[in-house]
Amino acid sequence: MHQPASVSIVVPAHRSGPILDACLDSLTALHPPPREVIIAIDGPDPSVHSAATSRGFLPIQLPHAPGVSATRNAGAAAASGPLILFIDSDIRVPPDLLLSACRTLNSHPDATAAFGSYDATPAHHSLVSRYRNLLHHFTHQHANRNARTFWAGCGIIRRDTFLSFGGFDPSYRQPSIEDIDLGYRLTSAGHHIVLNPSWQVCHLKAWRFANMLKTDTFHRAFAWTSLMHRHRRTADNDLNTDLRSRISALAAAIATLTFLLAPWQPATLAIAIPSLLILWLLNLPLYSFLRRSGGLPLATTGLLLHPLYFLCALTGFSLSHLARLSPFRHLTPQHPPL
């Protein structure tokens, strides 16, 4: 049976600040405590080193800032526990986190890894932040419990398996889909990953509108589509690539195109309005959840931003396919062979 004392926590950190302090403070309040907490520092930053040591954590300094994947890998290599719990530096954890993680693995003895979800009370209260964080929460709450991916925001994995698979792909320097890549490699080899939606942490990140569009287009959709090409996989009917999401993206594209044509071809409104209604009806459970969580203002924000989310996904998907065609092949990120 797995116990909290067998867990090494690894947190990748790039710079200090109030969000990192909140994350580290929550780790000091874990009860029972882990075997160790390792703060892997992506590049020289004495303030992060000091924040770690002042709390009794073990800092691992990477002098040349190799990126988030290599930083996590370095932390995992230094861990002494048979289980590694990855926590992002913009996460606040509940005191019983380790008990929840160990119970999840103990109830699924065949599982190699498990992960949880953001909670429904994100720290930042802007409408954009609440929409984006609650979308992530809602997606994980309704996803397949037998996961095909991994989540490094709050995910636990057997250390020996993690190391034998080479950890996270170090070519992902920025936070992207490096955890999804690891999950694909694990499940393709027959390993079992569990999603436990009741195991929840608080996201502290403040989303900005432009950053959200950039992330959803390039760091998610583009990168995820390129990953599916590399693994020769079609979209799973789960998470952000389920059938509902694919139909929604198509409906968003049709609605946008026909609305743009409407000033010159008013008849296209007969296509635009039904397309938008289809998108909204397909995602009504999300909008109802947003309404319950934040009232009419948050639900309205979801109605307005969610079509943009799907347009970003479709744009990233299309750009990834375009990048595979000459003369654009050089735009596709290069990865070592599996």
Query: Tens digit of pLDDT for each residue in 245-286?
Result: 889 999 999 999 998 888 898 888 899 899 999 999 999 999
DSSP state for residue 5 in the 8-state scheme: G
State the Cα–Cα distance between residues 256 and 272, nearest whole angstrom: 7
The answer to whether the CB of 91 falls within 8 A of the CB of 25 is no
Give, for 104, the enclosing helix (H) or strand (E). helix 97-106
Express as a percent the part of the chain with pLDDT over 90.
76
The answer to whether the CB of 60 falls within 8 A of the CB of 72 is no
CATH tag for 4-207 (out of 3.90.550.10, 3.20.20.70, 3.30.930.10, 3.30.200.20): 3.90.550.10
The mean per-residue pLDDT over the stretch 322-338 comes to 54
Q: What is the pTM of this model?
A: 0.91
The answer to whether the CB of 25 falls within 8 A of the CB of 53 is no
Indicate the domain borders of the chain.
4-207, 239-331
Q: What is the pLDDT of residue 235?
A: 59
The answer to whether the CB of 120 falls within 8 A of the CB of 159 is no
Contacts with 121 (C-beta within 8 Å, 6 or more apart), sequence order: 202
Average pLDDT, the chain: 91
Confidence at 141, pLDDT banded by 50, 70, 90: very high
Q: What separation in angstroms does the CA of 65 have from each of 13, 21, 71? A: 10, 20, 8
Q: Per residue in 221-255, pLDDT tens?
A: 888 888 887 776 665 656 677 888 889 999 999 99
Helix, coil or strand: residue 233: coil
The answer to whether the CB of 150 falls within 8 A of the CB of 185 is no
Confidence at 338, pLDDT banded by 50, 70, 90: very low
Q: Per residue in 4-25, pLDDT tens?
A: 999 999 999 988 889 999 999 9
Q: What is the pLDDT of residue 335?
A: 42
Token pair in block for residue 55: 């709390």
Q: Per residue in 177-192, pLDDT tens?
A: 999 999 999 999 999 9
The burial of 250, by beta-carbon neighbours within 10 Å (0-12 exposed, 13-18 middle, 19 or more buried), is given as middle
Give, for 247, the enclosing helix (H) or strand (E). helix 243-261
- Judged by average pLDDT, the poorest of 26-30, 131-135, 224-228 is 224-228
